[in-house]
Amino acid sequence: MRTSLFFICMLAVCMSFCQENIENLPSFPDYVNQHKDTISFYSRGLNTTKPINSITKEIIYNSERFLDSELIFNEQGVVIEKSGKPSKLYVKNKTSYQIEKIYNLPGNEGEEYRDLNSEGYCLEQEFLYNKKGLLAIYKRYYEDTTYDEILFSYNKKNQLEEKVTKLYHGVSTDSYGGIYLQANPTTVITEKGSYKKGQLQQTTITQVTNAYNANFIQNTEQKIEYDKYNLPVTIYIQDIIEDKDLDKTIQKTHVLRITYNDNKQLAKAVFQNAGESMNTVLQVVYNYSNMGLKHLKILDISNNNSFDEYFISYSDTKTIKTINFRLGNREKGILTYNYY
C-alpha cells in the first residue's frame, strides 16, 4: 500500500485504539514501521494485564491543558458508548472449525447500509480458523457495504507462508440511487515469506491496484540479516512502482539498520537511502527504565529534521500513568490512564 514510512498521526492512534481483545492478524514483520507498532502497544496499555477504566486525551496549548477526548472501557476492555452500550459484541461459534465474529454499532444515519442484528449491531469482522486453529480467512465489513478479505496459508511448521489481501472497495450507484458493490477487488496485495532453518530470510509484497483514481503495481522485496543472537540487524529493501496512469516506473532501495542495548532491547533504528551516499532518512531512538520504554524519539531527517517524541511514566505497579507526546510543531498533548 502507499503508506508513509515517516508520518505517525497520533490523533488517529489516540482515538482508534482501545483495549479490546481483537485478534492480532498473522503477518510478516514490518521492521521499517516497528516504531508505530511500539507506540500502539504502549498507548493501548498492552504492557499490563490490569483492566483500563478510561483514557483521556488532552491538548497542551500555551502551557494550558484542554480536554480533547475520552474513552471509557468496561472490565472486559471494550469501549462504552455515551448510550451506555458496549461499542462491540464478540461471538464465538465452535463447529468443526472455529468461527469468531465481531459486531459494532451502526455508523451515521444515511451512511450505514449493513443489516442490523436483533441487538442493533452490524457485523464488522469475521474470523475463520482451520482445523489446526490457525486463522485461514479474515473479513472486515464497512458501512457502505465495501469489505476486505485476507487469506492466510502456512508451511509445515505452521509459519505464515502467504498472505493475500483483497480490498473490495469499488462502489457504484444505479439510476435509482441504489448502492451496489463491484464484483472485482480494487486492490490485491500478495505477501510471501521464505525461510531457512525456520528463520525468515526474505519477504516479497506485490500490490496491484486498479481503482478509479489509482492504477499501479508495486513490488517490495525485503532481505533480512541477523546477528549471533538471531536478532534482525540489517534489512535491505527494494521498491519498484509501475504507475500505469503516468506510464512511469519508480525504483527505490533502502537499508534499515537496527541496534540493541545490553538487554537486547531495541535501541536505535536508522532508515537510509541505499547507494554511495547512504544518507539517513529516518532515525528512531528508544530509551528504557526498569519499568519499560520511557522515551521514544522519531527524527524525520527528510522533513527538515522534524521530530516526534513520546515520554511514558509508570505507577509503582508498572501500569502506564501518562504518555506525553509531541508531534513536531503540529500537536502537543498528554494521555492519562485510569484503571479498575
Residues making up the chain, counted from first to last? 340
pLDDT surpasses 80 at 154? yes
Bridge-partner residues for 126, per DSSP? 101, 139
* pLDDT over 70 at 5, yes or no: no
How far is the C-alpha of 3 from the C-alpha of 222, rounded, in Å?
16
pLDDT tens track for 209-223? 987 778 899 999 999
Residue 308: CB atoms within 10 Å: 22
**Nearest-angstrom CA–CA distance, 156 and 161:** 10
Higher pLDDT, 3 or 249: 249
Q: Tell me the CA end-to-end span of the chain in Å, nearest whole number.
A: 39
Question: Which cell goes with 310?
Answer: 513520546
Question: pLDDT at position 22, please?
Answer: 43
How does residue 92 score in pLDDT terms, banded at 50, 70 and 90? confident
Band the pLDDT of 231: cuts 50, 70, 90: very high
Q: Is residue 302 very low, low, confident or very high in pLDDT (cuts 50, 70, 90)? A: confident
Q: What is the Cα–Cα distance from 147 to 158, expressed in whole angstroms?
A: 27
Cα atoms in the 13 Å half-sphere on the side-chain side of 239 = 15
Taking the C-alpha atoms of residue 28 and residue 153, their distance in angstroms, rounded to an integer, is 12
Q: What angle do CA 135, 138, 139 make, to 5 degrees?
A: 165
State the average pLDDT over residues 146-151: 96
Mean pLDDT of 233-257: 93
Q: 152 forms bridges with which residues in the sheet?
A: 163
pLDDT greater than 60 at residue 152: yes
- Candidates 51, 60, 64, 66; CA nearest to 19 is 51
Name the band, by pLDDT with cuts 50, 70 and 90, for residue 178: low
pLDDT reported for residue 177: 64
Mean pLDDT of the chain: 88
Q: Residue 2 has what pLDDT?
A: 32
pLDDT of residue 151: 98
> Cβ(200)–Cβ(193) under 8 Å?
yes
Under a CB-based contact definition with an 8 Å cutoff, are residues 101 and 91 in contact?
yes
DSSP type of residue 23: P
| Residues 6 or more apart whose Cβ sits within 8 Å of residue 300 | 6, 7, 281, 282, 306, 307, 308, 328
pLDDT in tens, 30-87: 999 999 999 999 998 888 879 999 999 999 998 899 999 999 999 999 999 999 999 9
Amino acid identity of residue 334, one-letter, is: I
Mean pLDDT computed over 293-314 = 94
pLDDT at position 59 is 96
Per mean pLDDT, which range of 80-94, 174-188, 207-221, 222-236 is the poorest? Answer: 174-188
Q: What's the average model confidence in pLDDT over 296-303?
A: 92
Count of CA atoms in the C-beta half-sphere (13 A) of 33: 14
Residue 13: pLDDT over 50: no
Instruction: Give me the phi and psi of 210, to 5 degrees please.
Output: -135, 75
C-alpha distance from residue 271 to each of 66, 225, 284 (Å): 35, 15, 9
- SS3 state of residue 194: strand
